[in-house]
Amino acid sequence: MQRFEEKVILCAHRGERLRNIENTMIAFRMVVEAGADMVETDVRMTKDGHLVLMHDESVDRTTDKTGRICDMTLEEFRSCNATFHAEGFSFEPPATLKELLDFALEHPKLLLNIEFKDYPTPGNEEFAYTCCDKIVDMLLSYGVQDRTWINSFDGRLLEHVYRRCGKQFHYHGFYPWFILGPMTIDPEEFIDVACMQHRYISESGEVVKYDEPLCPKEWFDYLHEKGITTLVAPSLKEYPKYDLTISWGAQIVCHDDPYAMLEHLRKNGLHE
């Protein structure tokens, strides 16, 4: 597994979200300049086979245009203004994976958390696995695999990359593992970072969130005994809860406002 220095790793969620500039290059540049150790982003594929960064299935929420990304060409996607809802920013298109990786080469210590968002749902299998393989090929071509976490809510995609690449990459899963859906490989055999999600399976078999986002300490203890690093997500919101999980051994904090979280961590001697 990845061995970190004795500090908390700050992961900037989609670059940052609070200014309405998520998954843009300006967002990534700003948070890295501020001191973020890792950036998390979401990769999808356009209909003409280009890899772009967008959390949602469509551009509706975060840009000035509408439409599903899988139905758009790269040119159409890049014509969207991803800072449309933000104050004080000029036109900025949503980013591409290539742009982020070019930026990562300029920052060799930057850690990458790459979430695969095109899932192999019925009827979408070929598209999803094509997207998955293209992402892997691009990451390998840039030589960033040793500082990249492959991340997905769909365990089949994690398995697909692991079967192909083994431990050239690191792997980010979601705990409890049932969140990942059916898998043929035990997640604990290859996943080295677990994002803590307080969820349960209902009587109908649905994965449901508890009202309280803080997971039990026993879950952290179990994973740490297995040598798996725990990551706490932006859903915690309250700083005392982050502090508590850090006292339990959580080593990565993923946050929507990396500037404020960095200030908090530094004030408490938890970040450089």
Which structural domain, as residue segments, surrounds residue 71? 9-267
Please count the structural domains in the chain.
Answer: 1
pLDDT of residue 182: 96
pTM for this prediction: 0.96
Q: Is residue 43 included in any domain, yes or no?
A: yes
Place 4 in a pLDDT band, splitting at 50, 70 and 90: very low
Q: Is residue 2 included in any domain, yes or no?
A: no
Mean pLDDT for the chain overall: 96
55 is catalytic: yes
50 is catalytic: no
Name the catalytic one among 55, 160, 170, 198. 55
Condensed to tens digits (0 to 9), the pLDDT of residues 27-79 reads 999 999 999 999 999 999 999 999 999 999 999 999 999 999 999 999 999 99
Name the CA radius of gyration of the chain, rounded.
18
Q: Is residue 3 included in any domain, yes or no?
A: no
Q: Is residue 185 included in any domain, yes or no?
A: yes
CATH number at residue 228: 3.20.20.190
Q: Is residue 4 included in any domain, yes or no?
A: no
Q: Is residue 41 included in any domain, yes or no?
A: yes
Check pLDDT > 70 for residue 167: yes
pLDDT of residue 6: 60
Q: Is residue 272 included in any domain, yes or no?
A: no
**pLDDT average, residue stretch 129-142:** 98
User: Which residue in this structure is represented by tokens 């990786």?
Assistant: 101
Residue 193 CA to residue 106 CA, distance in Å, equals: 25
Q: Is residue 1 included in any domain, yes or no?
A: no
Q: Which tokens hold the place of 22?
A: 């998520």
For residue 36, what are the CA distances in angstroms to 31, 65, 181, 257?
Answer: 6, 30, 31, 11
Inter-residue contact 41 to 14 (CB < 8 Å):
yes
pLDDT of residue 2: 41
> Which residues fall within 8 angstroms of residue 218, CB to CB, at 6 or more apart?
none
CA angle, corner 269, sides to 268 and 271, nearest 5?
110
Inter-residue contact 1 to 229 (CB < 8 Å):
yes
Name the catalytic one among 13, 50, 172, 255. 13
